[in-house]
Each structure stands twice: as C-alpha cells, then as structure tokens.
C-alpha cells in the first residue's frame, strides 16, 4: 500500500466496522421488539414466563430501591442546603420546596434512577449473560430449540422498563423528602 492509501484504508475499515456494529445493535433491537411483541400477543402458547419476569423485576428493581433512595435523599438534601442561604437573602425560603420538587420530578428522579439501574442492574445482567455465553448455556438453549432472545433477553428488558418507572416514582418521593427534611432544619 502506498503512503496515501493507508490512512484512507484505515478510515474505510473503521467506518465499515462501525456500520457493522450499529447494524448488529439494530438487528438485536428488532429481534427483541419482535420477541416482546410475540410474548405478549402470541396466542400459540409461546408466552412470556411470568415467574421469570417477576424474578427479574425483583432483581432489577426491588434490589435497586435502597441505592436510589440513598442517592436521591442526599441529592434533595444537598439541593436544600445549597439553596437555603441564597433564597434566605431574598426572603424566598418557602420556594425551596417548589424548586426541589420541580427539579426532582422533572429531571433528577428519572435520571438518577436510570443511572443506578444501568450501573447496578445492567452490570449484573451483563455479567450473568456473559457467564452463560462462556459456559455455553446459550448454545444449549439453542440446541433445545429455545430462542435465547425470548427466554433470556425479553424478561430482562420488560422488567427493566417496568421497574424504571417504579424507581423514578420512588426516587422522586424520596428526593423531595430529603429536601423537605433539610429545609426544615435550615
């Protein structure tokens, strides 16, 4: 290769690799959506395993609640501590509750819930599925004619979507409670 062709080939190979990666993610997303649709609306008996879904909801959501509550309580308390001196100068101390509620309900509750869910549950799910891939359990499912996407991925995706809403609601309430607690002390 000439000196000019190497960088062009490198850029081309990187673009092809990126396109293959994005295409693979898109294919996986379509496969998961199709399997999820089939799990809820299919009448031929291939439905979603509710016991597996409940187990994933407990694992993904219920076990994340203490972390979400701790983080959002601290964030609500810190917001109140930071705003109290500034609002006191203007005589607007009663506005602390409105500001904390607005910030928590609009942004912080869902955002922090999603970050905790991604970090806590996402790492757990990735480790579990990676361990299954290494120990060839996924190939064993395919050998038994069980779709791994439907059996392994769909319950985790559905549980994560359901529990994200629940974690956001719980986080909103706890964040406002943290701000209320500290604002009464300040």
Domain boundary assignment for the chain: 1-47, 48-185
For residue 119, give the DSSP letter.
I
Q: What string of pLDDT tens digits covers the 186 residues of the chain?
A: 677 788 888 999 999 999 999 999 999 899 888 888 877 776 555 556 778 889 999 999 899 999 999 999 999 999 999 998 898 899 888 888 889 999 999 999 999 989 999 998 889 999 999 999 899 888 998 898 888 888 888 889 889 999 999 999 999 999 999 988 888 876
Alpha-carbon 40 to chain mean position:
21
CB 109 within 8 A of CB 175: yes
Residue 47 is predicted with a pLDDT of 59
Instruction: Report the distance separating Cα 159 and Cα 36, nearest Å.
Output: 11
Torsion region of 42: left, alpha or beta (phi above 0 gives left; psi -120 to 50 gives alpha)? beta
**Which pair of tokens denotes residue 38?**
């089939």
pLDDT of 127: 93
Q: Closest Cα partner for 175 from 67, 81, 72?
A: 72
| Whole-number pLDDT of residue 43 | 58
How many angstroms separate the Cα of 59 from the Cα of each of 102, 134, 157, 181? 30, 22, 12, 30
Q: Is the pTM of this model over 0.75?
A: yes
Are residues 69 and 136 in contact, defined by beta-carbon separation less than 8 angstroms? no
């Amino acid at each position: 290769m000439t000196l000019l062709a190497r960088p062009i080939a490198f850029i081309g190979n990187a673009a092809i690799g990126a396109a293959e990666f994005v295409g693979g993610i898109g294919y996986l997303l379509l496969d998961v959506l199709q399997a999820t649709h089939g799990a809820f609306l299919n009448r031929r008996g291939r439905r979603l395993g509710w016991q597996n879904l409940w187990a994933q909801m407990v694992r993904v959501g219920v076990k994340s609640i203490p972390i979400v509550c701790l983080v959002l309580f601290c964030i609500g308390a810190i917001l109140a501590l930071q705003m109290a001196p500034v609002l006191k100068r203007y005589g607007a101390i009663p506005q602390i509750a409105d500001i904390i509620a607005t910030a928590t309900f609009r942004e912080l509750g869902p955002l922090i819930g999603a970050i905790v869910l991604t970090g806590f549950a996402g790492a757990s799910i990735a480790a579990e599925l990676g361990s299954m891939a290494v120990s060839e359990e996924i190939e064993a499912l395919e050998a038994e004619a069980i779709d791994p996407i439907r059996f392994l991925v769909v319950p985790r995706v559905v549980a994560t979507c359901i529990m994200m809403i629940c974690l956001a609601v719980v986080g909103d309430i706890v964040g406002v409670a943290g701000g209320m607690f500290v604002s009464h002390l300040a």
